[in-house]
Amino acid sequence: MSASVIIFYCIAAFILLTGIAAVTSRKIFRSAIALLFSLTGIAGLYFWMDVNFIAAVQIIVYVGGIVVLIIFSIFLTQKSGEEMPKPLVSRVLFSLLAVLSGLGLIYRLISEYGFNNISKQPFNVEVSEIGTQMLSTTEHGYVLPFEAVSMLLLAAMIGCIVIALKASPNPSKGEA
Amino acid sequence: MLNDFLILMKQELVITIIIFILLFIKIGSKDWKNESLLKLINVLLLLNVVFSFIGNQEGVLFNEMFRTNDLISLEKGILSLGTLIISLSSYSWLQNHKHVAEFYMLLLSTLLGMFLMISGGHLIMFYLGLELSTIPLAAIANFDLDKRKSSEAAFKLIISSAFSSGLLLFGISLVYGTTGTLLFSELAQTLTGTPIQIFAFILLFAGFAFKISVVPFHLWTADVYEGAPVAVTSYLSVISKGAVLFVFVSVLYGAFKPLATTWYNMLFILSVLTIIVGNLFAIRQNNLKRFLAFSSIAQVGFILIGVSGSSQTGTASVIYFILVYIFSNLAAFGVISFISAVTGKETIDDYKALYKTNPFLSWVITIALFSLAGVPPTAGFFGKYFLLMAGTGIAGSKGLIIWIIIAALNLVISFYYYLRVVKAIFMDANETPIQKLSVPFLPKLAMIICVAGIVLTGLFSFIYEYIFSLSNGF
């Protein structure tokens, strides 16, 4: 077993353990912190695969953005110090069963397929290349999805504004 | 390139332009009255319908990420028409709403998402279109701003759609991992049906099933339909379901053609479950919106029979049925939406003796329910007939007769609950019936269009023949 493989298993174990901590912790704030570590672990996995840009994006977007948002909303809405009620034993049993059978199924499927027949051609992961492809219209250009996402964000913002305006009893003019 | 772009993406561009016109109206300094704004919007939507039916061409753009042909243009035209009808019939509700421009911006964004999804030749485009067509919809499900049920509906919709998107994305990533491509045209050649690909397909299928609320993925439907404003409910049950079904057919017949036996069996099990559960639950509903929610679940079960046909008849019957279904369901929802906006009454008991006070509304909803049940000579009968015919596979001779028998028996059950409403309207006595209501011009126009659609699409055979000539099986 080479060093690279050992590192992979270390990172994978880290992700899994922090992930389990995130779903089993009874304090919601601790869950959020465990999730933070789990997402950082995934960034580590990307570094291990030598896709530095994706790893950086993972850290900026998920660790820096989404987890901070989650923590913000926990502080705004929940009593973060309180423990959540203990889950029912039957519920724990059934979720354990579901997790184990899911694991078994995926393991079986992946080991059977083997992923050996995928061509190991090197791929270009320079940031400039990614940027060009993102906005190009030719082969492997992703400008159309990019524009679709921008419409999605516009719509999401409009929706948020309207729903958030709900609280004000007498809306002022020029609210959008 | 630019010319191609302008011509082939015409339908998407028109909608984008309308969205931006509304955006500029909203952020401009002029204060628009709701009435004049609604009139402007309805004219724009009418233009959109006209544009989407004329001057369409075939072609492929952006390296197969976007493709269009006569069939796809027709599907988009049908959806545009349905949106116009919904807009007309929700006039009474929107008249007093303070966010009309935003409502239409979000509504049209979802329509744009559906167009991109229908035209998408790539799983990424398909996924983005699907998201664009559900996330704004969750926002407008919340547009009855002071009702808790409306917020609940929005929340349930966004959570369940996030869950289904999760399944879908997992499926997509497994497909990409095993084939190395996401283009539909290449998938059709590279998929081989190994267990992991079948698993990926099941996940994708579950994502679809959530959106069209196939049993057992239907649990969100009734609550969301009940809580959301009626305009949004009708949009959810007709337009967004129709769009996903259009894509469903083209994805199954195109990209996942190599897995045909797998999805034929899945369709069989799910459609039988869907029809039976939808029917049994529809029988016990008293709220009309919940009632129509379960009836629409059962209808989807019938549509899946048509999908299983995998022939030219299969495609044509599904598209034809959705056209008919848009007219019938929107007529029913139009009446319910109007009565609910004016009086706030939504249960079947409230509708007792409606005929005594409001004969016009009674006839509209009755014809709509007859069409949903499939009583000849309404178009609903022909729609169901073609679906079952596609399912028996006269052309391919591989239909399961048991399946058709179960469906036919369930058709009889569905007569019971549709006609229960008709009986309440015409025969039951009621001491406090809904008072006499005068229907404004635009909702009335919408109802008349729907009734005309129900009667005429059934009687004029060239509509079905035209759809049939554009369709393709495999």
Per-residue pLDDT at A174 exceeds 50:
no
Instruction: Calculate ∠ Cα A143-A149-A151, nearest 5°.
Output: 110
Per-residue pLDDT at B438 exceeds 90:
no
Average pLDDT (B150-158) is 91
Whether A61 and A133 map to the same domain: the answer is no
pLDDT grade, residue A171 (50/70/90)?
A: very low
- DSSP assignment of A65-87, as one string? IIHHHHHHHHHHHS-TTSBPPPP
Asked if A137 and B29 come within 8 Å (Cβ–Cβ), the reply is no
Question: pLDDT tens across A91-139, in order?
Answer: 989 999 999 999 999 889 888 887 766 566 666 678 888 888 888 877 7
Asked if B139 and A155 come within 8 Å (Cβ–Cβ), the reply is yes
pLDDT at A173: 41
Q: Where are the beta strands (DSSP E) in A6-89?
A: none
pLDDT at B143: 87
| Residues in chain A closer than 8 A to B109 (CB atoms) | 151-152, 154-155
β-sheet bridge partners, residue B67: B60
Q: How many domains does chain A have?
A: 2
SS3 B347: strand
pLDDT at A105: 92
Asked whether residue A8 is domain-assigned, the answer is: yes
Asked whether residue A62 is domain-assigned, the answer is: yes
The parent domain of residue A42 ranges over 1-81
Whether A140 and A74 map to the same domain: the answer is no
| Residues in chain B closer than 8 A to A163 (CB atoms) | 139, 142, 145, 154
Most confident among A91-100, B56-65, B436-445 (mean pLDDT): A91-100
Whether A144 and A68 map to the same domain: the answer is no
| Residues in chain B closer than 8 A to A155 (CB atoms) | 105-106, 109-110, 132, 135-136, 139
Question: pLDDT tens across B36-50, in order?
Answer: 889 899 999 999 999
> Are the CB atoms for B423 and B417 separated by under 8 Å?
no
Asked if B124 and A142 come within 8 Å (Cβ–Cβ), the reply is yes
Which residue in B31, B142, B177 is closest to A163 by CB distance? B142
- Token output for B63: 């390296």
Asked whether residue A37 is domain-assigned, the answer is: yes
SS3 A167: coil
Omega before B377 within 30 of 0, i.e. cis: yes
Asked whether residue A3 is domain-assigned, the answer is: yes
> Are the CB atoms for B410 and B298 separated by under 8 Å?
yes
pLDDT grade, residue A176 (50/70/90)?
A: very low
pLDDT grade, residue B118 (50/70/90)?
A: very high
Asked whether residue A51 is domain-assigned, the answer is: yes
Which residue in B26, B135, B180 is closest to A176 by CB distance? B26
Asked if B139 and A113 come within 8 Å (Cβ–Cβ), the reply is no
CA B116 vs. chain centroid, Å, equals 16
Question: pLDDT tens across B222-259, in order?
Answer: 889 888 888 899 999 899 999 999 999 989 988 888 88
Asked whether residue A100 is domain-assigned, the answer is: no
> Of A81, A108, A140, at which residue does a domain stop?
A81
A138/chain B closest Cα distance in angstroms: 6
pLDDT grade, residue B128 (50/70/90)?
A: very high
pTM of the full predicted structure?
0.90
Per-residue pLDDT at B18 exceeds 90:
yes
How far apart, in Å, do the first and last CA atoms of chain A sit?
A: 60
- ipTM for the complex? 0.86
Q: Domain residues of chain B, as ranges?
A: 2-470
pLDDT at B474: 60
Per-residue pLDDT at B277 exceeds 60:
yes
Whether A73 and A134 map to the same domain: the answer is no
List the single residue in A with minimal CA-CA distance to B123: A145
Question: pLDDT tens across A59-76, in order?
Answer: 999 988 999 998 888 888
Question: pLDDT tens across B360-399, in order?
Answer: 999 999 999 999 998 888 888 999 988 888 887 754 456 6
pLDDT grade, residue B432 (50/70/90)?
A: confident
pLDDT grade, residue B314 (50/70/90)?
A: confident
pLDDT at B190: 86
The C-alpha atoms of residue B82 and residue B75 are separated, in whole angstroms, by 11
Which residue in B26, B106, B178 is closest to A155 by CB distance? B106
Total residues belonging to chain A? 176
- DSSP assignment of B237-256, as one string? IIIIHHHHHHHHHHHHHTTT
Average pLDDT, rounded, for chain A: 84
Question: pLDDT tens across B162-204, in order?
Answer: 999 999 999 999 998 888 888 888 888 888 888 888 999 999 9
Asked whether residue A151 is domain-assigned, the answer is: yes
pLDDT grade, residue B126 (50/70/90)?
A: very high
Cβ neighbours around B473 below 10 Å, total: 16
Asked if B132 and A155 come within 8 Å (Cβ–Cβ), the reply is yes
The C-alpha atoms of residue B245 and residue B317 are separated, in whole angstroms, by 12
Query: CATH number, domain at A2?
Result: 1.20.120.1200
Helix, strand, coil tally for chain A in percent (to 5): 70, 0, 30
Measured CA to CA in angstroms, residue B314 lies from B195, B277, B322, B383 at distances of 27, 24, 12, 12
